[in-house]
Copies of this chain bind each other. A is one copy, B any other.
Amino acid sequence: MSKIISEFREYREKMNNRLLATENKVIKRIFNLDTNTFMDGALSSREKELMGLVASMVLRCDDCVRYHLEQCYSKGITKEQIVESFAVANLIGGTIVIPHTRRALEYWEELEKS
């Protein structure tokens, strides 16, 4: 597996565990809500992941983008669809989103290789 993928996953898992180990109820519930929100409902979980991806891009959070790219990848979204999501995010969020798009594309292409 590529180094940027494994490093992201390991740090994320390690620190999520330490966050949950603090036994703060609000944080625990936010984590649970996060799981529930993206489940199939009136909108499919695939659609919601795409929405989560674009929201993360316009808010310019690289780690959030990576997380949603992983979810999109696991749901069979194609590269062409991902790149169209990038286009939506760059149009709405402006060229300030471009550096995050560069990193997002790199991560996506690593996911495809893995």
Residues of A within 8 A of B (CB): 11-12, 15-16, 18-19, 22, 24-27, 29-30, 33-34, 36-38, 41-43, 47-48, 50-52, 54-56, 58-64, 78-81, 83-99, 101-103, 105-106, 109
Q: Report the minimum CB–CB distance from A7 to chain B (whole Å).
A: 13
Most buried by B among A55, A59, A78: A55
Q: Report the minimum CB–CB distance from A96 to chain B (whole Å).
A: 5
Q: How far is the CA of A108 from the CA of B37 in the complex (A)?
A: 21
Q: Chain A interface secondary structure, helix, strand, loop or mixed?
A: helix
A33 and B37 contacting across the interface, CB-CB below 8 Å: no
Q: Report the minimum CB–CB distance from A20 to chain B (whole Å).
A: 10
